[in-house]
Amino acid sequence: MARIELKNIRHSYPAAKGEDQVWALEEVNQVWEDGGAYALLGPSGCGKTTLLNIISGLLTPTEGSVLFDDKNMTQVATIDRHIAQVFQFPVVYDTMTVYQNLAFPLRNRGMNHSDIEPRVKEIAEMLDLTESLYNRAAGLTADGKQKISLGRGLVRPDVNVIMFDEPLTVIDPHLKWQLRSKLKQLHQQVGTTMIYVTHDQTEALTFAETVVVMYEGRVVQVGTPVELFEEPKHTFVGHFIGSPGMNLLPCENVDRKAHCLGSALGIAEKNETQSEQFQVGVRPEFVYFDEVGIPVNLNKVDDLGRYKVAEVETHGHVIKMIVDEGEDIPGENPRICFDLDHTRLYRDGWMVETEEVMP
Ligand code: ADP
Ligand code: MG
């Protein structure tokens, strides 16, 4: 077990002939505390797999260092890093039994037969593989095989971190939530650091205590699911997390006060600024109908059962709002207000500190 630190990591793959060098990782500084359950969340192509491969040593970063408990591991071979990596598609020996598959990583490391058996049985039990333990892996379904892959990651007692790279891609949707909660439970049982890579916010938010959000080769925010929801540090986090995502609207700085869609909002940037242009970010959960607010047109209302999503429009900008069951939607001349405790200002994508002011 170890605390893993990525220091000033940058990575670029060799550029194709005649093309400019591009950075798959722009600059990453990140600590993974020993025993943590992390999700690494971001859209396809943002650098998640590159980051995992740098931790495991499959890739050497172009710049920066990888530290395990402050020891520089940047040039250390994968095998000596003691890491388990589970990939998108199952890696299973079809001709072996489930037992042999699970025992393989232990045999490989010279563990005694008498130590292997209880360990394999324990992991098989955790993954509900006990009944098929002596069946050939070839006969299993895709999710059965992926459970073996997960098991091969979990079975080794000596690993510093277990990394899962979108492991539920091949799993049937109705089994996904089962395996996801299983993994969370397994983390609580084994206590090993886990990094779970996904582009799916539901997967990330249900698995992890700490979510690391990546965007275009950078980590843009590290936080609990609640922090990411309540205080997105970057417009990407606001937009990517939540359903629907955060509303982002143009905003002007007039006499040091934020004006949005023709109205003064009652907030300002805390520190003196020269900036004229901001964006206001407010989640659909924190926009409400109010008699004294900004006049809008009501475009449409989607009834999603427990709540409705209303779409309103003004000055050519669409704003989504979540309207709880039992809350009224005005029939004419609707006006909206923002909950100022949950209204953020962004400059160049990044949140700035705000204070409430007289509008
Ligand atoms: P993710 O796992 O988040 O989808 P990746 O780490 O696979 O992202 O990719 C990050 C960026 O690096 C992408 O632009 C991708 O095209 C590029 N990339 C990934 N692997 C290679 C490679 N072997 N050679 C060149 N470019 C690559
Ligand atoms: Mg990937």
Whether 114 is in the pocket of ligand 1, judged by its Cβ within 6 Å, is no
Block mean pLDDT (10 aa), the chain, length 359: 95 87 95 96 96 97 97 96 91 94 93 94 91 94 90 90 91 81 86 93 90 97 96 96 95 86 87 79 96 93 94 96 91 93 94 87
| Residue keyed to tokens 């009652």 | 266
Give the end of a domain, one of 176, 204, 236: 236
Whether 43 is in the pocket of ligand 1, judged by its Cβ within 6 Å, is no
- Classify strands 161-165 and 194-198 as parallel, antiparallel or unpaired: parallel
Distance from residue 24's CA to the centre of ligand 1 (Å): 6
Kindly state whether residues 179 and 144 are assigned to the same domain.
yes
Kindly state whether residues 216 and 351 are assigned to the same domain.
no
Cα–Cα distance list, 285 to 178, 227, 261, 295, 325 (Å): 29, 15, 19, 19, 13
Question: Could you say which DSSP state residue 303 is in?
Answer: E
- Classify strands 277-282 and 247-254 as parallel, antiparallel or unpaired: antiparallel
Position 51 scores a pLDDT of: 98
User: With contact defined as beta carbons under 8 Å apart, do 199 and 42 qualify?
Assistant: yes
Position 206 scores a pLDDT of: 87
Distance from residue 47's CA to the centre of ligand 1 (Å): 6
Whether 145 is in the pocket of ligand 1, judged by its Cβ within 6 Å, is no
Kindly state whether residues 285 and 183 are assigned to the same domain.
no
**134 in a structural domain:** yes
Number of domains in the chain: 2
User: With contact defined as beta carbons under 8 Å apart, do 290 and 339 qualify?
Assistant: no
Distance CA 359, CA 351 (A): 21
Kindly state whether residues 202 and 259 are assigned to the same domain.
no
Kindly state whether residues 262 and 174 are assigned to the same domain.
no
Kindly state whether residues 17 and 79 are assigned to the same domain.
yes
| Residue keyed to tokens 């989504």 | 320
Give the end of a domain, one of 236, 263, 292: 236
Kindly state whether residues 268 and 200 are assigned to the same domain.
no
| Residue keyed to tokens 């072996």 | 96
Q: Which atom of ligand 1 is nearest to the CA of 51?
A: 6
Distance from residue 165's CA to the centre of ligand 2 (Å): 7
Q: What are phi and psi of 43, to 5 degrees?
A: -70, 165
Give the end of a domain, one of 211, 236, 261: 236
Distance from residue 44's CA to the centre of ligand 2 (Å): 7
Distance CA 165, CA 355 (A): 41
Kindly state whether residues 253 and 198 are assigned to the same domain.
no
Strand partners, 269: 354
Whether 157 is in the pocket of ligand 1, judged by its Cβ within 6 Å, is no
Kindly state whether residues 56 and 183 are assigned to the same domain.
yes
Ligand index nearest the alpha carbon of residue 12:
1
Instruction: Please report, for the domain that includes residue 108, its CATH number.
Output: 3.40.50.300
3-state secondary structure of 51: helix
Closest-CA residue, ligand 1 atom 13, reads 45
3-state secondary structure of 287: strand
Give the structural domain span for 302. Answer: 246-356
Ligand 2 ion: Cβ-proximal residues, 5 Å cutoff: 48-49
Kindly state whether residues 174 and 311 are assigned to the same domain.
no
List the one residue out of 84, 71, 85, 80 whose CA is nearest residue 2. Answer: 71
Position 264 scores a pLDDT of: 87
Whether 49 is in the pocket of ligand 1, judged by its Cβ within 6 Å, is yes
Distance CA 235, CA 248 (A): 8
Distance CA 53, CA 28 (A): 14
Distance from residue 268's CA to the centre of ligand 1 (Å): 40
Position 273 scores a pLDDT of: 67
Distance CA 31, CA 5 (A): 4
CB-CB neighbours of 131 under 10 Å:
9
Q: Which atom of ligand 1 is nearest to the CA of 199?
A: 3
Position 143 scores a pLDDT of: 85
Q: What are phi and psi of 172, to 5 degrees?
A: -55, 135
**124 in a structural domain:** yes
Whether 44 is in the pocket of ligand 1, judged by its Cβ within 6 Å, is yes
**241 in a structural domain:** no
User: With contact defined as beta carbons under 8 Å apart, do 4 and 160 qualify?
Assistant: yes
Kindly state whether residues 282 and 206 are assigned to the same domain.
no
Distance from residue 270's CA to the centre of ligand 2 (Å): 39
Kindly state whether residues 290 and 211 are assigned to the same domain.
no
Instruction: Please report, for the domain that includes residue 298, its CATH number.
Output: 2.40.50.140
Strand partners, 27: 218
Position 18 scores a pLDDT of: 82
